[in-house]
């Protein structure tokens, strides 16, 4: 059986232990809740208290801040005295063509990213695995995940230089007579989403492929041998042995990333976006930022409402994905 990978493993492990039933006297991990045990573990308990306080402040208090989405929050009046307006802010969001467009952008770019990065990561992993020269394989792999460690500022700088009218892309396209004159890619609306997707691919393919490569190396060689005996060629082995063996890994990673489809849209869109392509480049996070930082037009409530919407949708997506995975008998998160 293919080894389960770390995200799936620790997640299911921790969640199952968290939800196991507690009997009256013993904890789920079989320890009696007695004064003696408490005294024995006092160091752990005292330190945990500090972690709980920290977690409450930095993780749970902002959650309580969701109430701002239901208020007409003003900095002067603060949380406790701002007027409560119920679902007004949400109504505004869902009737604003601005916001609808922003959600569309975020979702499309997120989905494109998810689909293509999964396909290319798997494809790259499978093809790289077919390279027999160990030394070459190592070099290619090392090179492939180098861009992952560069910041998006650096990558966007490189991308915008490459796509500029004096950059390499235009140069190549003109040389091969695909274009007659230089084309301003970054000022073109239809090209924005492909540019974002391709930039993600350039930056992350090698890195994303690592997990798949590790999974492939743990496939039982006997499966390949019996496939050879049955007369399978290289492609057939890839299709009938490698891919199905990768299925659990693919499912778990897809599951984890589906919840993020609305989240992966900020840095590159913010840096590369410009006035010309605004209608397709703005994402939910940029929209929220605008309401939080635009001097004259601050509306914390609106920004919070948009953020709440995004988080709720992410949770729904994760739960939905998990339910589907359960139904089809695949690996799941919980």
Partner 1 sequence: MAPEDIVFTICNTIFMVLFAVVTLYPILNTLAISFNEGNDAVRGGIHLLPRVWSLKSYSIVIHKEGIIQGAKITVLRTIIATLASLAANALLSFILSRKKFLFKSGLSLFWIITMYANGGLIPTIVLFRSLHLIGTFWVYVIPGLVSAFNVMVMRTYMSGIPDSLEESAQLEGAGYMTVFIRIISPLCKPVYATIALFSAVWHWNSWFDAMLYNRSNLKYTTLQYELMKLLDSVSTQSSANQSANALSQGNTATANKNTVRAAATILTMAPIICLYPFLQRYFVTGLTIGGVKE
Q: At what angle do helices 97-129 and 284-293 cross, to 10 degrees?
A: 130
* Closest by CA position to 323, among listed 311, 310, 313, 334: 334
**Rule CB under 8 A: is residue 45 a binding residue for partner 1?**
yes
Residues between 72 and 111 that touch partner 1 (CB under 8 A): 79
Residue number, 193 or 309, with CB nearest to partner 1: 309
* Closest by CA position to 92, among listed 262, 302, 287, 292: 302
H or E segment and range at residue 131: none
**Rule CB under 8 A: is residue 316 a binding residue for partner 1?**
no
Q: Tell me the H-state helices in the chain.
A: 6-19, 35-40, 42-55, 61-64, 78-81, 88-95, 97-129, 134-144, 152-163, 168-175, 189-217, 221-229, 234-237, 243-258, 267-272, 278-281, 284-293, 300-327
Residue number, 279 or 311, with CB nearest to partner 1: 311
**Rule CB under 8 A: is residue 63 a binding residue for partner 1?**
yes
**Rule CB under 8 A: is residue 135 a binding residue for partner 1?**
no
**Rule CB under 8 A: is residue 68 a binding residue for partner 1?**
yes
H or E segment and range at residue 84: strand 83-84
* CA–CA separation, 153 and 161 (whole Å): 12
* Closest by CA position to 246, among listed 222, 211, 208: 211
**Rule CB under 8 A: is residue 202 a binding residue for partner 1?**
yes
Q: Report yes or no: 197 and 281 within 8 Å, Cβ to Cβ.
A: no
**Rule CB under 8 A: is residue 236 a binding residue for partner 1?**
no
**Rule CB under 8 A: is residue 323 a binding residue for partner 1?**
no
Q: Out of 53, 136, 236, 244, name the contact with partner 1 by CB under 8 A.
A: 136
Q: Out of 218, 226, 236, 323, name the contact with partner 1 by CB under 8 A.
A: 218
Q: Out of 318, 325, 331, 332, name the contact with partner 1 by CB under 8 A.
A: 318
Residues between 9 and 38 that touch partner 1 (CB under 8 A): 9-11, 13-15, 17-20, 27-29, 31, 33, 37-38
Tell me the closest approach of the beta carbon of residue 72 to partner 1, in angstroms: 14
Tell me the closest approach of the beta carbon of residue 141 to partner 1, in angstroms: 8
Residues between 283 and 312 that touch partner 1 (CB under 8 A): 285, 288-289, 291-293, 300, 303-304, 307-308, 310-311
Q: Out of 315, 316, 323, 326, name the contact with partner 1 by CB under 8 A.
A: 315
* CA–CA separation, 149 and 90 (whole Å): 38
Residue number, 11 or 108, with CB nearest to partner 1: 11
Tell me the closest approach of the beta carbon of residue 26 to partner 1, in angstroms: 11
CA-CA-CA-CA torsion for 269, 274, 277, 278, nearest 10 degrees?
70
């Amino acid at each position: 059986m293919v080894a389960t990978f770390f995200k799936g493993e620790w997640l299911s492990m921790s969640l199952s232990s968290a939800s196991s039933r507690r009997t009256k006297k013993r904890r789920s991990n079989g320890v009696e809740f007695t004064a003696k045990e408490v005294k024995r573990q006092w160091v752990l308990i005292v330190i945990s208290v500090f972690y709980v306080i920290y977690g409450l402040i930095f993780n749970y208090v902002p959650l309580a801040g969701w109430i701002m989405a239901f208020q007409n929050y003003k900095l002067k009046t603060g949380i406790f005295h701002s007027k409560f307006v119920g679902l007004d802010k949400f109504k505004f969001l869902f009737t604003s063509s601005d916001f609808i467009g922003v959600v569309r952008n975020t979702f499309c770019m997120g989905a494109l990213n998810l689909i293509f990065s999964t396909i290319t990561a798997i494809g790259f992993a499978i093809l790289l695995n077919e390279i027999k020269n160990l030394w070459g394989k190592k070099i290619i792999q090392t090179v492939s995940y180098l861009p992952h460690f560069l910041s998006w500022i650096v990558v966007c700088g490189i991308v915008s230089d490459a796509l500029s009218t004096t950059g390499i892309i235009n140069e190549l396209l003109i040389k091969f007579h695909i274009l007659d004159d230089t084309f301003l890619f970054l000022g073109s609306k239809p090209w924005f989403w492909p540019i974002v997707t391709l930039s993600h691919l350039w930056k992350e393919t090698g890195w994303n492929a690592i997990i798949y490569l590790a999974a492939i190396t743990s496939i039982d060689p006997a499966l390949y041998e019996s496939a050879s005996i049955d007369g399978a060629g290289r492609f057939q082995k890839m299709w009938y042995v490698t891919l199905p063996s990768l299925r659990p890994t693919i499912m778990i990673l897809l599951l984890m990333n589906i919840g993020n489809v609305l989240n992966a849209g900020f840095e590159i869109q913010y840096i590369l976006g410009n006035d010309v392509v605004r209608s397709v480049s703005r994402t939910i996070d940029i929209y929220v930022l605008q309401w939080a930082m635009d001097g004259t037009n601050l509306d914390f409530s609106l920004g919070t409402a948009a953020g709440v919407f995004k988080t709720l949708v992410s949770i729904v997506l994760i739960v939905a994905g998990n339910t589907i995975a359960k139904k089809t008998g695949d690996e799941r998160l919980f």
